[in-house]
Amino acid sequence: MLRKDEKKPVRPEINPSFSPVFTTFTAKRKITDLFFKYLFSIVSLFSVLALGAILLFVFIRGSVPFLFPTAEGIRLVAERIDEITVNGEVYRNHSSFIFIPPGTETISLRFKNQETEESAEIAVNNREKNPEKKLAFVRHGGGTLSHPEAYTYTLLYPASIAALDRKIHFIIPEPPYSLFAFLSGMEWRPTYQKLYGIFPMILGTVFAAFGAILLGVPLGILCALFLAEFLPAKAAVLVRACIELLAGIPSVVFGFFGLMVIVPWVKGLFQAPSGNSLFSAILVLAVMILPTIISIAETSLRAVPDSYREASLALGANKMQTAWRVVLPHAGSGVIAGIILGISRAVGETMAVILVAGNSVQLVHSLPESIRTLTATIALEMGYAEGRHSDILFSVGVVLFIFILLLNGIIFWIKKRGEEI
């Protein structure tokens, strides 16, 4: 209600000449908003689908070695043999696998070695599980039999020069690998003995990650608390810029710094033959996760309302008690997020660890010993791996993914229990 002496506000009139322009502008803005709304929705959907497809592909490739054999039957590879007869079937200039049907009990071979007609006969024991006893070479003429690696036999027929030697490789299908042997196996010999035990690498990853967590997380939280609560504003801006600069440095630079500085120092500290060790990896990873933890935790601490600080100080608490007992608990979610990102970087780091850890597949018993992590194994061997070896490296990636999920789950569980207490 208006008082008697109060005038009714006059609504400004819009010039009719501007009305079509205003209407057109509003319509265009609505169309633009609608376009970007659907564009962002489509991009988000495709991003989720792409991520899901990648995870599905990795999980499928990682499960193949434990579900299927490498082939249905025995495969032959003939080197420098223009024409070979296998069980009555002639193969000319065959550069790929010659597949022997499953259940075949005898393999008969004939081919010409220079001017000599060579023949071989191999008995196949399909019931035998031991690859060493599956094939019995009844007759192989002038050829020399060798067993270069597990599940592989080679017949060599010498020529006048070694470069012209004829070779026939017999590749026996590998049965599905045991998941228990994969997770608990102590030996990693993927090329010769076909052993894929990753337990030493799991321990190496766990020790390096937890060492970096124990060293880097408390230090990162204390630094963030100091930046947010105690350091003067101008100095805090300068230190914050330096920390953000550290966060953008590539991991290979950290690794090179560790190789040139930390590794020689660790070698002298422990009087060890080499400084490439678990302790070097822990130090480098701890330094690498500090910028991430400090940046995110400090942002969360500064977001706590000043009224909380003022109330604490009014009740007689000093600045340290206020920072530790009031500000830090209220910024818990952001601090936990920083810790999770830092830990994920520590567990997933590759290049820096390769440069300083030594990369020996062995059970580690002390800090100066060399280790190899799961990520280092994938990076070092994926370039030349093939067949089951390549699939097993995908399985290593699945184990690494599950390990990170479990680690994050443990952190959330600890946070939840702390809130309940």
Give pLDDT tens digits for 83-109: 899 998 999 887 789 999 988 899 999
Pairing between β-strand 98-99 and β-strand 152-157 as defined by DSSP bridges: unpaired
Residue 148's SS3 state is strand
Q: Tell whether 159 and 226 lie within a shared domain.
A: no
Q: Tell whether 248 and 332 lie within a shared domain.
A: yes
Q: Tell whether 381 and 334 lie within a shared domain.
A: yes
Closest CA to 169 of 251, 289, 76: 76
Phi and psi at residue 153, to the nearest 5°: -120, 150
Which of 172, 204, 219 represents a domain boundary (last residue)?
172
Q: Tell whether 276 and 370 lie within a shared domain.
A: yes
Q: Tell whether 199 and 326 lie within a shared domain.
A: yes
Residue tagged 């005038």 (tokens): 7
d(CA 132, CA 149) in angstroms, rounded, equals 10
CB 166 within 8 A of CB 113: yes
pLDDT, one tens digit per residue, over 223-254 is 999 999 888 888 988 998 899 888 888 899 99
Q: Judge whether 190 lies within some domain.
A: no
Total domains present in the chain: 2
CB 212 within 8 A of CB 224: no
Q: Tell whether 283 and 382 lie within a shared domain.
A: yes
Task: List CB contacts of 37: < 8 A, sequence separation 6 or more.
Answer: none
Q: Judge whether 352 lies within some domain.
A: yes
Closest CA to 243 of 257, 225, 223: 223
Locate all alpha helices (DSSP H) within 68-162, ordered by sequence. 131-134
3-class DSSP string for 340-383: HHHHHHHHHCCHHHHHHHECCCCCCCCCCCCECCHHHHHHHHCC
Residue 124 identity: V
Task: List CB contacts of 205: < 8 A, sequence separation 6 or more.
Answer: 347, 373, 374, 375, 400, 403
d(CA 392, CA 414) in angstroms, rounded, equals 33
Q: Tell whether 168 and 258 lie within a shared domain.
A: no
Q: Tell whether 219 and 325 lie within a shared domain.
A: yes
Q: Tell whether 149 and 201 lie within a shared domain.
A: no
Return the number of other C-beta atoms located less than 10 Å from residue 374's C-beta: 24
pLDDT of residue 21: 55
Q: Tell whether 142 and 86 lie within a shared domain.
A: yes
pLDDT in tens, the chain (421 residues): 445 555 555 555 555 554 555 566 677 777 887 888 888 889 999 999 999 999 999 999 999 999 999 988 899 999 988 889 999 899 988 778 999 998 889 999 998 887 788 889 999 988 887 777 888 999 888 888 988 888 899 999 988 788 888 899 999 999 999 999 999 999 999 988 899 999 999 999 999 999 999 999 999 999 999 999 888 888 988 998 899 888 888 899 999 999 999 999 999 999 989 999 999 999 999 999 999 999 999 999 999 998 988 899 888 888 889 988 899 988 888 888 888 888 888 888 889 999 999 999 999 999 999 999 999 999 999 989 988 999 999 999 999 999 888 888 888 887 777 666 5
Kindly calculate the radius of gyration of the chain based on its CA atoms and give it in whole angstroms: 33
- Write out the residue range of the structural domain in which residue 127 sits: 75-172
88 phi-psi bin (left φ>0, alpha ψ -120 to 50, beta other): left
Q: Judge whether 17 lies within some domain.
A: no
Which of 137, 157, 172 represents a domain boundary (last residue)?
172
d(CA 222, CA 320) in angstroms, rounded, equals 12
Whichever domain contains 253, its CATH number is: 1.10.3720.10
pLDDT, one tens digit per residue, over 306-365 is 898 889 988 888 888 998 889 998 888 888 888 888 888 888 888 999 999 999 999 999
Q: Judge whether 3 lies within some domain.
A: no
pLDDT of residue 4: 53
Give the rounded percent of residues in the chain with a pLDDT score beyond 90: 48
